[in-house]
Structure 1
Amino acid sequence: MWKMNPVANANRWNRLLQTAKPSQGLPLLIRSFSTEAEAPQVSSSDPFLQPPSTGLVYGRLSGITKHTLRTDILNLLEGCNLTLQDVKVDYNRSYFPVGMMVQFPSRYAFDHAIKVINKKGRLYKLDRADRSQWDPLRTYDGKTVLLQGLPRNALPEDVERFLAGCEFNSSNIQLTTRQAFPDPIRMALVHFPSQSQAMNAFITKNRGFCLNNQILVRVLH
């Protein structure tokens, strides 16, 4: 019988292999395996062949003014799945906004933002950035007011009198001085419980006077 005669079985397989035509399945199957084995392998380390990253991507937006709000950027980049927590204002030492950092949920969102800006926001420019540029930036969230133009001898008590009638954190008034030409600029950061209270201080106190100096009031975001 077939399964009882291994020597005969081997002879029959040899004859089949020698007499098989190209149209028969076995040689074709062998050639198929050979072709697949010889196919060149593409290196998975090639960065041009990798799918776009789905991790966080950071960008730096330039071209903003001191009047540009984080909500303006959200409206500009509609469709990029951003929230207010994904946008930070980059202030210089004098608290003038020099740009905005944006945290995108993916590279797809970043690429979409580039297209949106090219289409309807040509005043702005978006460049790739690093997380090390994002992390140190502080978010004031519209609850911190900057007072500029204070006299050099101004004390926290003078700031409190200037802000009389407003609700603010009097225990955390930060007085600083920045070098400027021709004279140094005396400033104060004052923290408010809410955005509405900070905005109320801006409306009621901007261009007011502290020790005979006119004070510029700004809300930081």
Structure 2
Amino acid sequence: MAKLVLTRLGGTLKGRALTPNPLPRILWRSLSTEGESQDPSIDPFLHSAPEGLAFGRLTGIGRNTLKTDVIHYLEGCKLSINDVKFDYNRAYTPVGVLLQFPSRSSFDLAVRQTIRKGRLYKLEKIDRSEWDLKTSYDGKAVLLQGVPRNALQEDVERFLSGCNFDPSSFQTFVRPGFPDPIRVAIIQFPTQVDAMNAFCVKNRSFCLNNPISMRVLQ
């Protein structure tokens, strides 16, 4: 605010207002980032970080589709055998394929390829949790359908005689069928070659007079 100064001129007091000198302008720079919003896209470290994984579900596949068929169909999307998991229903019929893409751009490329090839298949994005919870048989498990209701594990092992399989992996359960429920079994093999060999040699053979239908699970 202005300051009044009195001076004596010829015996008379006169006043004049003095305007204080303005304070020099000071540019303050906050040392704290609290409350500030920063755009991560301008952070050079974040900008240069590699893209994360992306996950998708491919539907519309056939009953006899293989992992290699899916990889060939999505050629150029950088998928490997370990990036493909088949999704089976209770009857062990494949209803879809879960895919792990190395990047979002790879997933987008797969979507464009699916559309360009005539929409025979549908590709949609899924969460990673769905991928993590799904078991991959990796072509090393064989499904046996039509196992007799009274068959014991020893009977199934006798059916597979001459094949290299893991007896401790034997699983058996009943699934809905027509006209009667069907007993099925799953057997694990050390390698994909062993599983495929068992399929080629034993499929449609008999266990206790019942023909056994076999299928390699992906």
TM-score, length basis structure 1: 0.74
- Give the alignment of 1:94-173 within 5 angstroms: 94-120=91-117, 122-173=119-170
Work out the CA distance in 1 between the residues paired with 2:127 and 2:39.
25
Which structure carries more strand by proportion?
2
Work out the CA distance in 1 between the residues paired with 2:169 and 2:85.
22
CA contact (8 A) 1:76 1:121 kept: no
The correspondence for 2:212, drawn from 203, 212, 215, is 215
CA contact (8 A) 2:91 2:176 kept: no
Q: CA deviation at 1:76?
A: 1.1
1:189 correspondence with 2:186: yes
Runs (4 or more) in structure 1 with deviation over 3 Å come to: 42-46
Residue equivalent to 1:23 = none
- Code of the aligned partner of 2:210: N
- Code of the aligned partner of 1:111: D
Flag structure 2 segments of 5+ consecutive residues without an equivalent.
1-36, 42-46
Which structure carries more helix by proportion?
1
Residue equivalent to 1:88 = 85
- Code of the aligned partner of 1:91: Y
Q: CA deviation at 1:45?
A: 8.6
Q: CA offsets, 1:8-28, max 9 Å, x none?
A: xxxxxxxxxxxxxxxxxxxxx
The alignment's C-alpha RMSD in Å is 2.2
1:205 correspondence with 2:170: no
Work out the CA distance in 1 between the residues paired with 2:38 and 2:190.
56
- Code of the aligned partner of 1:192: F
Q: 1:117 to 1:127 in 2, by over 3 A?
A: same
TM-score, length basis structure 2: 0.75
Q: CA deviation at 1:212?
A: 1.2
> Matched residue pairs, number?
177
- Structure number with bigger Rg: 2
